Structure 1
Amino acid sequence: MDFTTLNVNTTNKTSTSAAAQSSGAADTQDRFLKLLVAQMQNQDPMNPMDNAQVTTQLAQIQTVTGVGTLNNSIQGLSNQFNQMQALQSVSLVGRSVTVPGNKVAVEDGKATMNFELADSADAVKLEVLNGAGAVISTQDLGKMKSGAQSYAWDASKASETANLTFRITATKSDNPVTATTLMRDTVRAVNTSGTTLQLELKNSGLVDYDKVRALG
């Protein structure tokens, strides 16, 4: 397993960020109290601040401080969740996943192509293309329901089997139906260097973790 890109040590960043936000909230509260004291010391004796005004201003600063504390707590929980997700995803290294993509992998003269239909379709056509973009095989799949679909292609008689891709054309009452092509790929590593958890796949490169449609 390749763990070279795995980096889940965000504790220091979290601590530094939380400490900075906490210090900022404390500084804001301190400045507010100093201004309030100065305001009370220099108020007009004939028209002093009433208790309601003081109470309202104190409540406002407490609300601001409370929101800052809540933000810190939420950020801490979010970072912990990201770390747990990254650690759990390590178990995917070396395993196969299904992600959006259109590459065709031929093994022993056969290839399985997966796709999803956004709606049921009256007619579905699958085309296999070579590296130059020319169609080398066309399959009419007929009517299909919405959701995940799969087609096993016999590539034993194909003129070429390298650098192949496929596309799906689906219609319902002559209106196009959205089709998402899917492909199986192998997880090589887990990448946490960005803002989102990503998987480094053998053929597809970096793919966001939430793009994975199926495992195994």
Structure 2
Amino acid sequence: MDYTTLNVNSSTNKTPTTAAQSSGAADTQDRFLKLLVAQMQNQDPMNPMDNAQVTTQLAQIQTVTGVGTLNNSIQSLSGQFEQMQALQSVSLVGREVTVPGNKVAVADGKATMNFDLSGAADSVKLEVLNGAGAVISTQDLGTMKAGSQSYTWDASKASETANLTFRVTATKSSNPVTSTTLMRDTVRSVSTTGGTLQLELKNSGLVDYDKVRALG
């Protein structure tokens, strides 16, 4: 794994932006003060600016400068957080994670399939499909609550166990209930692309880190 990539990608884009913003804030403040001085020098002697007006304008420029400084601080913290997150994710290499997916892994004649239901269902059907997309097994799981669900399929009598996938159909009072199929996969490496932290998984390829539902 290229650890250098983790350190470089999460920080190289921050410095030019921060420097430019700091320069922009300083230029804005300088222009404001010059305009204020010019305004005071050319004011009507019979109707000069009162202290309240001057104080208000000075407060405005201080607010603008303060917002710019706060924005720079937030960006700096964001960069540090991204770098820390990337370094911490290195420990995931070799571990199993649960992510959205529908591939079926058969081991010792059994396969455990996980899925998530958006709501309670009074009818749940799980189908196992072969590589050609044909259904080779159908399981009626009956009533299920909302949330994470798991089903272990006995594949000992299945005619084929390679390149299998599964799908879940759930309904409540004949209305469809959204289901998300999940699968366990092994982390091979970690990368950052465009500031996005991604995991390269054994079977699923590149997956965004925020797609991970659980760690094995």
Tell me how far apart the structure 1 counterparts of residues 202 and 32 of structure 2 sit (CA, whole Å): 56
Shift of 1:6: 4.3
Alignment gaps of 5+ in structure 2: none
Q: Match of 2:29?
A: 29
Secondary structure of the 1:47 match is coil
Whether the 8 Å CA contact 2:6–2:87 is kept in 1: the answer is no
| TM-score, scaled relative to structure 2 | 0.93
- Answering whether residue 213 of structure 2 is matched by residue 213 of structure 1, we say yes
Shift of 1:12: 4.2
Tell me how far apart the structure 2 counterparts of residues 4 and 76 of structure 1 sit (CA, whole Å): 21
Secondary structure of the 1:8 match is helix
Q: Match of 2:143?
A: 143
The aligned amino acid for 1:17 is: T
Residues 16-165 of structure 1 aligned to structure 2 (within 5 Å): 16-165=16-165
CA separation of 1:3 and 1:105: change in aligned 2, threshold 3 A: farther
Shift of 1:5: 8.2
Listed one character per residue, the Cα deviations across residues 151-170 of structure 1 (whole Å, up to 9, x for unaligned) are: 11122222222221100011
Tell me how far apart the structure 2 counterparts of residues 163 and 12 of structure 1 sit (CA, whole Å): 42
Shift of 1:57: 0.9
Shift of 1:88: 0.8
- Answering whether residue 205 of structure 2 is matched by residue 201 of structure 1, we say no
Shift of 1:23: 1.2
Residues 168-179 of structure 1 aligned to structure 2 (within 5 Å): 168-179=168-179
Tell me how far apart the structure 2 counterparts of residues 176 and 134 of structure 1 sit (CA, whole Å): 22
Alignment gaps of 5+ in structure 1: none
Tell me how far apart the structure 1 counterparts of residues 3 and 27 of structure 2 sit (CA, whole Å): 41
CA separation of 1:4 and 1:160: change in aligned 2, threshold 3 A: farther
Tell me how far apart the structure 1 counterparts of residues 101 and 190 of structure 2 sit (CA, whole Å): 19
Tell me how far apart the structure 2 counterparts of residues 111 and 89 of structure 1 sit (CA, whole Å): 28
Whether the 8 Å CA contact 1:6–1:190 is kept in 2: the answer is no
Deviation larger for 42-51 or 126-135: 42-51
Whether the 8 Å CA contact 1:98–1:182 is kept in 2: the answer is yes
Shift of 1:86: 0.9
The aligned amino acid for 2:161 is: T
Shift of 1:107: 2.1
- Answering whether residue 42 of structure 2 is matched by residue 8 of structure 1, we say no
Listed one character per residue, the Cα deviations across residues 4-41 of structure 1 (whole Å, up to 9, x for unaligned) are: 68422344432332222111101110111111111111
| TM-score, scaled relative to structure 1 | 0.93
Whether the 8 Å CA contact 2:6–2:83 is kept in 1: the answer is no
Secondary structure of the 1:79 match is helix
CA separation of 1:184 and 1:5: change in aligned 2, threshold 3 A: farther
Tell me how far apart the structure 1 counterparts of residues 23 and 175 of structure 2 sit (CA, whole Å): 59
Shift of 1:105: 1.4
Q: Match of 2:166?
A: 166
Tell me how far apart the structure 2 counterparts of residues 122 and 8 of structure 1 sit (CA, whole Å): 50
